[in-house]
Amino acid sequence: MEKMKLLQKTYSDLEIQKDVPLAGYTTLRVGGRADYLLTAEKEDTFCGVLRFLKEENIPFLVLGNGSNLLVKDGGFRGAVLRLGKEFGRIERTEEGLYAQAGALMSVLAKTALENGLAGLEFAHGIPGSVGGGVYMNAGAYGGEMSQVVRFVRVYNGEEIVDIPGSEMAFAYRHSRAMEENWLILGAAFALQAGDKGEIEAKMRDFAQRRREKQPLEYPSAGSFFKRPAGYFAGALIEQSQLKGVSVGGAQVSEKHAGFLINKGGATADDFLQLMKKVQDTVYEKFGVQLECEVRIVGNDE
């Protein structure tokens, strides 16, 4: 606690909370408690706190919108660092838009629409933040971040630098930020002038498809498994007769088998057990090993 008091004295804009349940900070609505939750509103504070945690060997987790995250029931022993509400600025640029890491993907897409800029329609229904979206090269309906990122502003542990999109090693649900353990602070997007009516129509079409095919009425982490080469995870799971299968409050969605949903009262362990059941069954039937797309962190109880 003394180290946290020192942090508080150093950064007046830093909010420090102790023993915080993390379920409310993830879209799955499960997970244990974090020793500390640190909320930073400024770029310098965010980087300074991260540097301090590393120097003091305090385990840390950077938390975005929590849309691609499963925190175990034992919680996280260390500090969870998140971006405050002030860290979501979006600006018009000559080439398109610049967004800070805390901005929501949906708000970024809406801002593009308002400015008559095409290229981010796919991001309209993605629940994550810009930082998380860039980190994992999020995508949907044939579009992904790699197609529109001009440069990424990162803290590499020593300094803040802008990395061209061409040097981010983007691949399916992957970026160089994962390899280098970079902290993403923001990203610039190269977008094209477009017709607002056409942009909005494409967004409405994508939104309608999501409502029809995805279990948006339940807490989930989106697609739980990565798409295996030559297959679709959801199809493999459905063909394995796993739709509707449950462990505790966690269920394979009856609407879209690629989604594991929280039907109510689920624990992280429910999801972990269900994940293994799905993986084992699909492998036994098709010889395909499904890889988890959701990031799993924390301690077992």
Active site residues: 173, 223, 293
Q: How far is C-alpha 128 from the geometric centre of its chain's CA atoms?
A: 5
| Contacts for 288 with CB less than 8 Å, ≥ 6 apart | 228, 231, 236, 282
Q: For residue 116, what are its two tokens?
A: 């008559």
> For the residues of 190-226, what is the DSSP string, one character each?
E-EE--HHHHHHHHHHHHHHHHHHS-TTS-EEEE-B-
DSSP designation for 244? T
Question: Helix (H, G, I), strand (E, B), or coil: what is residue 241?
Answer: coil
Q: Nearest CA to 165 among 181, 178, 155, 177?
A: 177
Q: Nearest CA to 76 among 66, 87, 88, 86?
A: 66
Number of Cβ atoms within 10 Å of the Cβ of 114: 12
Q: Nearest CA to 69 among 298, 300, 299, 295?
A: 295
Identify whether the C-beta of residue 96 lies closer than 8 Å to the C-beta of residue 189: yes
**Alpha helices, DSSP H only, in the chain?**
2-10, 43-55, 105-114, 130-135, 176-180, 196-213, 233-239, 268-286
Q: How far apart are CA 167 and CA 176, in angstroms?
A: 8
Which residue in the block uniquely carries the two structure tokens 């999801």? 271
Q: How far apart are CA 169 and CA 188, in angstroms?
A: 16
